[in-house]
């Protein structure tokens, strides 16, 4: 099976051409990130094309020597990926012809295999055909071909299989043996680019039409204060998307950090995610150090600080005041933190990828087969710190559980108290003591369980803290086809009541709407479909991450102005502290 390179393709791309698409796995994965893309896969083998046709909008059989984009009605592509069977035909002439599809901001990606990869060396020693791959070209040769084709190399990434290779990599004797083998085999097989890095399966070379200019290269360096729950959606996923741009690099560290890696970058953004300075002097020293190094300093926050500002208030206020700007997840949260810093950007939480659309009829038949021919409805609840939120609806849930019996089932994550309060035998708690005492499960498990539910409970009381939360659980539920039954707090801003979900304002209305969703299957499915379409249309990260990059670039252009404001803001704050002392 070919390596999935979907996460290396810029998700903003609306047209992608993959030459050597294999069975279409990369394209299929990319279409979950950018479902509006027009994806073209070309392959030389008929069987692979038949498999790819089930995954891609366009899957065509063509030999590299006779390939004609014009004959297919294809005249422009944002990204051109060359790999697999098409690599053998790689040359300056063909690169130039194929790259003619790319606009000024287009990208060419080339997956170049490493014949010196240790698994290929072992296969060669054993006389297996899969080890006898001859390199297409060396990296310098490819760079020369790119230049002759009017393209500029914008980076190369080593492709590794760390999970499978980790044990062998740690054994010094194995390394010595394999490097010796690489030296011998390179001569006997005529390989031209046996690389010193025998742990790399290959390289992904990125090239662009317009060379990255001096002053454009950006490093986005994030230091995490919380490493379990929020980094995925607030940092890691946006970073992964931004790093597909040729002028952007990203770095993430927990607690401590090392800015030496940022040397050589023209634009430097330093983000403190949910981090509080240990004391005022340490905070001021850190801020001054980053300013002197030319950074734009940001604070990332996705929760209302109201709960913890009472303790060590000075250092926490400094975390907001002592940044050039703040990035938050909601407008209500932005209103709260603007009292400390006027420069606030709302970057909503979005889904990284669109989950597979559910086949509800197939699921219904499968459930009936497991349950003696009787269908049932599944309710999902999975949230932290919601004990106060669900207590007023628990009587209605238990009443419904008694009314429907085995026709209503519950799946619960995180909240053991909620699970114990449910008075039914048809319930399941997901999680183990190894999962942080049952409070957290791997995100993939959370998605799997949510994808099997019909109704998702999203209760929130109207408090200052809750009003600043994001609607992430609604869009996750919508993406996985579970109809949200939610409080108006937070969710009324995006959930269309009765259309993409249902809102309840008290326990009585909760009971009524729960009954509707359990009993009216057609209404439930209609609502789930509308919510899924909303996510596909408006709430995918691929539709928004470039806005984040544009903001970072804008801040850097205004850095002198913002730095002057920051200095004045801190000066006034320190003067006020002195008077209070």
Per-residue pLDDT of the chain (581 residues; tens, 9 = 90+): 688 999 999 999 999 999 999 999 999 999 999 999 999 999 999 999 999 999 999 999 999 999 999 999 999 999 999 999 899 888 889 999 999 999 999 999 999 888 777 777 777 767 776 655 556 777 788 888 999 999 999 988 878 776 555 555 556 655 566 566 555 545 444 444 444 567 788 889 999 998 888 889 999 999 999 888 889 999 999 999 999 999 999 999 998 889 988 988 999 999 999 998 889 999 999 999 999 999 999 999 998 887 666 666 788 889 999 999 999 999 999 999 999 999 999 999 999 999 999 999 999 999 999 999 999 999 999 987 788 999 999 999 999 999 999 999 999 998 899 999 999 999 999 986 555 555 678 899 999 999 999 999 999 999 999 999 999 999 999 999 999 999 999 999 999 999 999 999 999 999 999 999 999 999 999 999 999 999 999 999 999 999 999 999 999 999 999 999 999 999 999 988 876 65
CA–CA–CA angle 6, 9, 11 (5° rounding): 95
DSSP-derived letter for residue 232 is I
User: What pLDDT is recorded for position 194?
Assistant: 45
Provide the terminal-to-terminal Cα distance of the chain, rounded to the nearest Å: 68
- Residue 115 and residue 133 in contact, taking contact as beta carbons nearer than 8 Å: yes
Question: Which tokens sit at 325?
Answer: 């700007």
Give dist(CA 354, CA 70) in Å, integer: 31
In the chain, list all ranges with CATH 3.40.50.2000: 360-538
pLDDT, position 165: 59
- DSSP SS3 for 95: helix
The answer to whether 57 and 68 are in contact (CB under 8 A) is: no
DSSP string of 147-212, one letter each residue: HHTT-EEEEEEEEE-HHHHHHHHT-HHHHHHHHHHHHHHHHHHT-S---S-TTEEEEEEEEESSPP
Look up residue 413 and give its DSSP letter. Answer: E
Phi-psi region of 537 (alpha: psi -120 to 50; beta: other; left: phi over 0): alpha
Which tokens hold the place of 179?
């490097």
Contact 40, 56 (CB under 8 A): yes
pTM of the model: 0.92
Question: How many degrees, rounded to 5, is the angle at CA 353 between CA 482 and CA 513?
Answer: 15
**Coil vs helix vs strand at 228:** coil
Q: What is the pLDDT of residue 477?
A: 98
Q: Where in the chain is the domain with CATH 3.40.50.150?
A: 6-208
Q: 23: which residues sit within 8 A by CB, 6+ positions away?
A: 1, 2, 48, 51, 52, 55
d(CA 327, CA 345): 5
Helix 118-125, helix 172-189: angle, nearest 10: 60
CATH class of 6-208: alpha beta
For the domain made up of 360-538, the CATH class stated in words is alpha beta
Q: What is the pLDDT of residue 52?
A: 98
CATH of the domain spanning 218-351+549-580, picked from 3.40.50, 1.10.3470, 3.40.390, 3.90.400: 3.40.50
């Amino acid at each position: 099976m070919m390596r999935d390179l979907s996460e290396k393709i810029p998700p903003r791309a609306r047209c992608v051409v993959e030459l050597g698409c294999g069975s279409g796995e990369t394209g299929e994965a990319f279409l979950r990130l950018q479902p509006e893309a027009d994806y073209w896969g070309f392959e030389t083998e008929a069987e692979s094309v038949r498999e790819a046709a089930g995954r891609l909008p366009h899957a065509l059989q063509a030999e590299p020597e006779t390939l004609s984009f014009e004959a297919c009605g294809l005249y422009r592509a944002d990204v051109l990926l060359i790999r697999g069977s098409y690599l053998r035909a790689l040359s300056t002439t063909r690169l130039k012809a194929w790259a003619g599809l790319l606009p000024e901001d287009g990208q060419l990606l080339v997956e170049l295999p490493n014949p010196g990869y240790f698994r290929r060396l072992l296969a060669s020693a054993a006389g297996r055909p899969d080890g006898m791959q001859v390199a297409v070209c060396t990296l310098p040769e490819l760079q020369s071909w790119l230049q002759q084709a009017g393209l500029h190399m914008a980076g190369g990434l080593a492709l590794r299989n760390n999970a499978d290779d980790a044990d062998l990599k740690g054994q010094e004797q194995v390394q010595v043996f394999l490097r010796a083998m690489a030296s011998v085999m390179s001569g006997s097989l005529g390989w031209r680019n046996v690389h010193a890095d025998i742990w790399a399966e290959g390289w992904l070379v990125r090239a662009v039409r317009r060379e990255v200019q001096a002053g454009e290269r950006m490093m986005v360096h994030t230091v995490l204060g919380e490493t379990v729950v929020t980094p995925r959606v607030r940092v890691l996923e946006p970073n992964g998307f931004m790093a597909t741009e040729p002028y952007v690099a990203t770095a993430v560290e927990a607690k401590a950090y090392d800015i030496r890696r940022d040397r050589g970058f023209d634009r430097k953004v330093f983000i403190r995610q949910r981090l509080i300075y240990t004391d005022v002097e340490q905070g001021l020293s850190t801020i001054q150090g980053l300013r002197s190094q030319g950074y734009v300093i940001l604070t990332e926050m996705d929760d209302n600080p109201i709960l913890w500002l009472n303790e060590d208030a000075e250092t926490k206020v400094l975390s907001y005041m002592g940044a050039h700007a703040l990035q938050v997840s909601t407008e209500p949260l932005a209103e709260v933190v603007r009292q400390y810093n006027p420069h606030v950007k709302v970057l909503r939480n979005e889904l990284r990828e669109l989950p597979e659309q559910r086949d509800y009829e197939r699921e219904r038949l499968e459930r009936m087969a497991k349950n003696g021919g009787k269908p049932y409805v599944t309710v999902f609840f999975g949230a932290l710190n919601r004990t106060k939120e669900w207590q007023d609806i628990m009587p209605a849930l238990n009443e419904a559980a008694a009314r429907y019996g085995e026709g209503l089932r519950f799946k619960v994550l995180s909240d053991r108290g909620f699970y114990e309060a449910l008075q039914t035998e048809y319930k399941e708690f997901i999680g183990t003591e190894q999962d942080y005492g049952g409070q957290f499960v791997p995100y993939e498990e959370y998605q799997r369980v949510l994808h099997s539910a019909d109704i998702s409970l999203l209760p929130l009381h109207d408090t200052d803290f809750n009003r600043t939360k994001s609607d992430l659980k609604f869009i996750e539920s919508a993406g996985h086809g579970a109809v949200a039954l939610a409080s108006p707090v937070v969710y009324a801003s995006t959930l269309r009541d009765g259309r993409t979900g249902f809102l309840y304002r008290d326990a009585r209305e909760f009971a009524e709407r729960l009954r509707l969703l359990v009993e009216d299957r057609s209404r439930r499915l209609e609502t789930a479909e509308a919510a899924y379409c909303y996510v596909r249309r408006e709430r995918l990260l691929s539709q928004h991450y470039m806005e984040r990059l544009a903001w970072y670039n804008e801040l850097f252009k205004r850095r002198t102005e913002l730095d002057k404001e920051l200095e004045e803001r801190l000066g006034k704050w320190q003067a006020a502290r002195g008077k209070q002392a």
